[in-house]
Amino acid sequence: MARISRTWWGERFLEALEQCTDSGRLSRGRSYSRPGRMLSFSIEGAHINARLRGNINPYFGVYREPRYTVEIQLKAIAAKKWKQILKRLAGNAGWLSRLLMNEMPDDIEDAFRDFGVSLLPASPADLKTACSCPDWANPCKHVAGTYYKVAGLLDQDPFLLFELRGITRKKLRKQLAATPLGKALVAEMEEGLDAPEPVASRFPAPTRMAPEGEIGLRDFWQGNSIPELPPTAKGPGVPALLIKKQGDYPPFWPGDNSFIEAMEAIYEQVRIKNKKSL
């Protein structure tokens, strides 16, 4: 079965859920995270809301497709704890530099563990869920499907978990950048972003034609006055250079394999097939 999450942080979120919920029931919800099942999905602060399509089942007297509403809320970390955690993060140059560059450190849980909390869900008490379906167990298929949807979003933006835990991305960055070490790192990063020196033109200067009177009309039309053209530029040195700007898993890419690797293979096949005509 195809994986729902494709990065280490999304996988770690699902692993954390398996530790504090029924892993068997959690896996049943994979298909409910697909667009055909999930009619709507939204996140407002720490609140996750979704609406999903259920199943028609005449055996149980269900003849019309049901629609179920799911609500999930992660337990917010107390403001006092956040203050201590941010101070801890700001005192570690490795954590601080990666966070200011919008990268999630793989050992960031160590900073939370020191204060008896965790960024990822660690127990059922960290998750408050509700679903309008008749299934009494938790998680039901619809709640589990919503979990997988969140894991997919964490693939694209692991900082979403900070917001679900009670602190916005803007506030996180502002408080980290205001610390002494944060100010030094921000200043160093901004120094490396100086604008390039302007140039007069992106195009080469036109070749100077011979002064009038030095060549005859016949020589002109025969091309004697035309400068020699530079050699034709070769193909790009890096395969699929424009494709690489999209990243391994852009939002429109449904596959579990890397988008870049797939497109590089196609580029190479086209190049080999059309080698004689290029």
Comparing 8-22, 92-106, 167-181, 248-262, the range with the smallest average pLDDT is 248-262
CB atoms within 10 A of CB 169: 13
CB atoms within 10 A of CB 153: 18
Whether residues 177 and 70 share a domain: the answer is yes
Closest CA to 249 of 240, 260, 241, 239: 260
Stretch 176-183: mean pLDDT, rounded? Answer: 90
Domain contains 246: yes
Whether residues 152 and 253 share a domain: the answer is no
pLDDT band for position 2 (cuts 50, 70, 90): very low
* 197-221 per-position pLDDT tens digit: 665 555 555 555 555 555 565 665 6
Stretch 54-69: mean pLDDT, rounded? Answer: 81
Closest CA to 109 of 90, 128, 95: 95
Choose the final residue of a domain: 168, 190, 212. Answer: 190
Residue with the two structure tokens 């999903």:
52
Domain contains 206: no
Domain contains 196: no
Domain contains 219: no
Structural domains in the chain (count):
2
Name the residue range of residue 268's domain.
Answer: 238-278
Choose the final residue of a domain: 190, 218, 250. Answer: 190
* This prediction's pTM: 0.64
Stretch 100-123: mean pLDDT, rounded? Answer: 90
Whether residues 89 and 168 share a domain: the answer is yes
* 11-60 per-position pLDDT tens digit: 888 888 888 888 788 888 888 888 888 999 999 888 999 999 888 777 66
Please state, in angstroms and as integers, the Cα–Cα distance from residue 248 to each residue in 5, 62, 64, 255, 264, following that order.
13, 42, 40, 10, 11
Backbone angles phi, psi at 127, to 5 degrees: -125, 120
Choose the final residue of a domain: 150, 171, 190. Answer: 190
